[in-house]
């Protein structure tokens, strides 16, 4: 490992090569960073603020950097961007849960590292950047889009008395995850000018205008010079960086558990579900157990699936026939039954190749991952993302998740009969320390059966009020967005929806949208209240 000790992210204090001091002629941190990557391509190029050297946990580096396509850092006392980045970015990578291993492109100069040869892939793109913290975040942002795995990693730090002025110590200890929790107060380093420049360079240009408007409306500031200056920066948005030459071969798993439980909620799709079971029956790696939750709201109805108990299957089938409909409830019933190493979240209208589960386990071991979300296209649908990468959402019908996470996380019943329950489940996984990884080359064909399944048309109590956004989406945002992300979403919603509706008078339009937004917040509050939530579900 090569360790760059720096002073305030500007000057190199010393360079340690395998704990032995080595001085370089050039003291500028960015130049030394690139030079070390070129001289030591097979080493981890680590950085650390000189005041934090006693807290760097070098013993965890082999575990954290378990393959060559990982970049990780941890903000002990400083982070680069303020929460204002949330005005234009509502993805989970912005609101970082610092208690756990968490996927994010946001990098801190406090403590971190990246493999030398991996870093060199970004030199031609970012060679003109002289600010070290800006460089780290640019590599993280563009790298994540191109398949670099980027993390906030508390395991990089070990607590000691010298760090007490920068941390609140061990606030709590999670015995299962074994992670120390540090205080949330961090010093932000990026100026408004740097924020605007970054947004212009790494997002669609329209996001720069959105950021300017949010500063004007919510910050009561007029950053006209930052806005205009940003337009002269280079554009990196959708720049391709080919990382395919960096082989991923994780050393995280010397062996991997191979038992798989499958959970399938279903309603009124007999033929489709039987086809799913036939596909599972043909798997080269058979699941251990398949849990089917069949729903029919008619209390006098009987099962449509007598074959589940009458026929012989090469795996155990647990069949629940219930008279309560809803995806969240059905999956939660199934999750109570799981006990395998891996849990396959499947839909009842999936079409799978026979080597799906076998290939999934191979890729999980290769990547050292805790889960995979598979490519889930309909027939003739164009492939949008073709790289293995960290994912901004979660597929509740096309994911394989480690049992240590899935067995203790449940779908929030506040989302029943609405949408965003899968996104919320993904956020719960992230906040427990499970990274969400998308794999384009492991594919499930989504047959998109006619409505039925576990998603039905119901008359929701808020339909007459026409809240906007939907109350369940508002619940998701209230749970997982920063204040800035919520304001950014609201601003963008108002702007996008204006051309889709009939009211063209801006004053009347804003008045109506404000009423719709308040209605959504009112119903979201009721959904978040367990007592009101139960009353609402019973009235559906």
| Tens digit of pLDDT at every position of the chain (540 positions) | 999 999 999 999 999 998 788 876 568 999 999 999 999 999 999 999 999 999 999 999 999 999 999 999 999 999 999 999 999 999 999 999 999 999 999 999 999 999 999 999 999 999 999 999 999 999 999 999 999 999 999 999 986 555 544 443 333 333 333 333 344 578 889 999 999 999 999 999 999 999 999 999 999 999 999 999 999 999 999 999 999 999 999 999 988 999 999 999 999 999 999 999 999 999 999 999 999 999 999 999 999 999 998 889 999 999 999 999 999 999 999 999 999 999 999 999 999 999 999 999 999 999 999 999 999 999 989 998 899 999 999 999 999 999 999 999 999 999 998 889 999 999 999 999 999 999 999 999 999 887 655 556 678 889 889 999 999 999 999 999 999 999 999 999 999 999 889 899 999 999 999 999 999 999 999 999 875 666 566 665
Q: By C-alpha distance, which of 271, 315, 263 is closest to 293?
A: 263
Q: What distances in angstroms separate CA 318 from CA 9, 289, 303, one per listed residue?
A: 57, 7, 14
How many Å apart are CA 351 and CA 296, to the nearest integer? Answer: 24
| Torsion over CA: 366, 369, 371, 376 (sign) | negative
Give the distance, in angstroms, between the CA of residue 192 and the centroid of all CA atoms in the same chain. 26
How many other β-carbons are positioned within 10 Å of the β-carbon of residue 209? 15
- The pairing of strands 260-266 and 342-346 is parallel
What element of type H or E holds 332? helix 327-335
| Model pTM score | 0.92
| Torsion over CA: 386, 388, 392, 393 (sign) | positive
Q: Buried b / exposed e across 431-442, counting CB within 10 Å, b at 16+?
A: bbbbbbbbbeeb
Provide CB contacts within 8 A for 225, sequence distance 6+.
Answer: 193
């Amino acid at each position: 490992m090569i360790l760059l000790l720096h002073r305030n992210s500007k000057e190199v204090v010393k360079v340690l090569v395998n704990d032995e001091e080595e001085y370089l002629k050039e003291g500028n941190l960015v130049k030394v960073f690139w030079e070390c990557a070129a001289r030591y391509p097979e080493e981890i190029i680590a950085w650390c603020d000189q005041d934090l050297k006693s807290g760097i946990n070098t013993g965890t580096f082999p575990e954290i950097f378990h393959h060559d396509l990982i970049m990780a850092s941890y903000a002990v006392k400083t982070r680069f961007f303020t929460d204002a980045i949330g005005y234009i970015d509502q993805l989970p990578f912005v609101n970082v849960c610092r208690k756990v291993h968490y996927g994010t492109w946001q990098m801190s100069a406090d403590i971190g590292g990246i493999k030398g040869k991996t870093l060199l892939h970004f030199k031609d793109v970012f060679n003109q950047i002289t600010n070290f913290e800006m460089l780290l975040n640019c590599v993280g942002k563009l790298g994540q889009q191109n398949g670099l795995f980027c993390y906030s990693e508390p395991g990089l730090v070990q607590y000691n008395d010298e760090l007490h002025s920068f941390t609140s110590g061990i606030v709590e200890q999670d015995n299962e995850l074994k992670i120390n929790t540090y205080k949330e107060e961090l010093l932000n380093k990026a100026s408004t000018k740097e924020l605007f420049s970054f947004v212009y360079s790494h997002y669609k240009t329209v996001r720069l205008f959105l950021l300017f408007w949010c500063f004007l409306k919510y910050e009561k500031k007029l950053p006209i010079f930052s806005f205009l200056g940003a337009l002269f920066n280079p554009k990196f948005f959708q720049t391709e960086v080919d990382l395919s030459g960096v082989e991923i071969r994780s050393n995280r798993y010397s062996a991997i558990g191979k038992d798989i439980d499958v959970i399938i909620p279903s309603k009124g799709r007999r033929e489709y579900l039987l086809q799913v079971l036939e596909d599972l029956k043909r798997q080269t790696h058979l699941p251990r157990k398949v849990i089917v939750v069949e729903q029919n709201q008619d209390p006098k109805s009987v099962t449509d699936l007598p074959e589940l108990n009458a026929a012989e299957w090469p795996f155990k089938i647990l069949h629940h026939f219930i008279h309560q409909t809803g995806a969240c409830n059905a999956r939660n019933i199934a999750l109570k039954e799981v006990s395998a190493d891996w849990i396959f979240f499947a839909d009842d209208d999936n079409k799978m190749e026979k080597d799906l589960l076998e290939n999934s386990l191979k890729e999980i071991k290769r990547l050292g991952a805790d889960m995979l979300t598979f490519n889930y296209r309909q027939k003739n649908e164009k492939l949008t993302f073709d790289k293995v990468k960290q994912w901004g959402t979660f597929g509740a019908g096309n994911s394989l998740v480690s049992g240590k996470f899935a067995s203790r996380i449940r779908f929030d019943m506040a989302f029943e009969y609405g949408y965003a329950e899968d996104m919320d489940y993904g956020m719960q996984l992230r906040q427990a320390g499970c990274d969400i990884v998308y794999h384009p080359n492991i594919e499930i064909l989504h047959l998109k059966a006619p409505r039925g399944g576990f998603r039905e048309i119901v008359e929701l109590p808020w339909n007459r009020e026409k809240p906007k956004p939907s109350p369940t989406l508002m619940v998701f945002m209230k749970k997982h967005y920063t204040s800035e992300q919520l304001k950014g979403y609201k601003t963008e919603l108002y702007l996008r929806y204006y051309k889709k509706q009939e009211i063209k008078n801006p004053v009347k339009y804003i008045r109506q949208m404000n009423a719709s937004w308040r209605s959504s917040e009112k119903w979201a509050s009721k959904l978040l209240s367990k007592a009101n939530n139960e009353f609402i579900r019973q009235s559906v």
